[in-house]
């Protein structure tokens, strides 16, 4: 999909370095000179070893973290403060335990001033879209892990963000549920292609979902060390696409580069 006229890429991170002050001693540089562009409508997966800085990069795109060096631009404008165009699906479940599924989704609109009756009606529609209509009145502890992820997805998408930031959203789910969630995500995304930055450990998931796969090296001072275009046609079924010869060729190519970094990452962080 072409970029919105004259507005530039949805996300452009240029030579972004992120250092954390650890009190007293030298700063810790998590990410160094990372450059990454996500075009409007493009689905980009970011894969890298544990602790390399994937969540940190998403935090920069969300405006939650200011780079120590380099710049972040959103649709051509320098990012200052929170990114108003971004919807963020966090690595951990972020549902309110004391609110029902429909209330949790409605909150996505209430925080931007939509009246609660309207927010609730639209939340019900969204729960239908993610296949949870019968579960509207349940509290998070009464939902399965996959169902909670669906509520989280609806909570973010109801605000219709132009940019979707997803941090290992299906991480804790079993393989079959991940596949179902991946297909649901692709179905919702294809309706009005948003720019997506999708962080995952899972290279197969990255290739199956995205238009481009970006690889990061093991930290500290992690860098972006590879960027592949995924040549698989859409619409895709995640189960079927993994049987495609082009999928295997790409997987082999990327894994050849990623493998050493993953091993380094485990050695340096103790595996998470």
Q: Does position 53 bind ligand ATP by CB under 6 A?
A: yes
Count Cα neighbours of 92 within 13 Å in the Cβ-side half-sphere.
2
Which partner in ligand ATP, Mg ion, none is near 143 (CB below 5 to 8 A by kind)? none
Tell me whether residue 55 or residue 100 sits nearer to Mg ion (CB atom): 55
Which partner in Mg ion, ligand ATP, none is near 71 (CB below 5 to 8 A by kind)? none
Residue 222 CA to residue 121 CA, distance in Å, equals 44
Residues constituting the chain: 272
Q: From the CB of 97, what's the least distance to ligand ATP, in Å?
A: 23
Residue 67 CA to residue 20 CA, distance in Å, equals 10
Distances (CA, A) of 75 to 33, 55, 65, 89, 250: 20, 21, 18, 20, 30
Tell me whether residue 55 or residue 210 sits nearer to ligand ATP (CB atom): 55
Q: Does position 55 bind Mg ion by CB under 5 A?
A: yes
Q: From the CB of 104, what's the least distance to ligand ATP, in Å?
A: 23
Tell me whether residue 92 or residue 243 sits nearer to Mg ion (CB atom): 92
- The tokens describing 154, both together, are 């609806």
Residue 131 CA to residue 126 CA, distance in Å, equals 9
Strand order in the sheet with 77-78: 28-38, 11-20, 69-74, 77-78
Which partner in Mg ion, ligand ATP, none is near 78 (CB below 5 to 8 A by kind)? none
Place of tokens 């009246």: 115
Among 1, 28, 82, 229, binds ligand ATP (CB under 6 A): 28
Among 37, 56, 155, 183, binds ligand ATP (CB under 6 A): 56
Using alpha carbons, select from 222, 173, 180 the residue that is nearest to residue 47: 222
Among 11, 16, 54, 214, binds ligand ATP (CB under 6 A): 54
Which range touches ligand ATP (CB under 6 A), out of 44-52, 142-150, 153-161, 253-261?
44-52
DSSP 229-262: E----SS--HHHHTTSHHHHHHHHHHHHHHHHHH
Q: Does position 55 bind ligand ATP by CB under 6 A?
A: yes
Using alpha carbons, select from 30, 32, 123, 22 the residue that is nearest to residue 70: 32
Q: From the CB of 239, what's the least distance to ligand ATP, in Å?
A: 25
Q: From the CB of 128, what's the least distance to Mg ion, in Å?
A: 31
Q: From the CB of 200, what's the least distance to Mg ion, in Å?
A: 10
Q: Which residues of this chain interact with Mg ion, rule CB under 5 A?
A: 55
Q: Which residues of this chain interact with ligand ATP, rule CB under 6 A?
A: 20, 22, 28, 30, 48, 50-56, 91, 201, 219, 272
């Amino acid at each position: 999909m072409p970029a919105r006229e004259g507005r530039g890429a949805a996300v452009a991170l240029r030579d972004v370095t992120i250092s954390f002050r650890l009190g007293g001693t030298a700063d810790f540089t998590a990410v160094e000179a990372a450059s990454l562009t996500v075009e409007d409508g493009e689905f980009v997966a970011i894969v890298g070893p544990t602790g390399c800085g994937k969540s940190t990069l998403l935090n920069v795109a969300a405006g939650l973290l200011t780079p120590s060096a380099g710049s972040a631009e959103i649709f051509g404008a320098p990012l200052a403060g929170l990114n108003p165009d971004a919807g963020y699906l966090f690595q951990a479940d972020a549902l309110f335990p004391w609110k029902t599924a429909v209330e949790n989704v409605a909150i996505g609109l209430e925080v931007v001033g939509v009246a609660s009756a309207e927010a609730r009606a639209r939340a019900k529609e969204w729960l239908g879209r993610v296949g949870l209509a019968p579960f509207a009145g349940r509290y998070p502890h009464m939902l399965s892990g996959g169902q909670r992820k669906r509520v989280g997805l609806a909570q973010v998408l109801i605000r219709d963000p132009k940019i979707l930031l997803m941090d290992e959203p299906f991480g804790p789910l079993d393989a079959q549920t991940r596949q179902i969630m991946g297909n649901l995500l692709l179905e919702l995304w294809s309706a009005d292609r948003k720019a997506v930055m999708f962080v995952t450990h899972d290279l197969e998931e990255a290739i199956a979902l995205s238009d481009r796969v970006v690889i990061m090296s093991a930290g500290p001072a992690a860098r972006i060390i590879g960027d592949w275009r995924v040549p698989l046609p859409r619409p895709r079924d995640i189960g079927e696409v993994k049987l495609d010869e082009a999928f295997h060729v790409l997987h082999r190519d990327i894994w050849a580069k990623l493998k050493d970094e993953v091993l380094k990452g485990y050695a340096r962080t103790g595996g998470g």
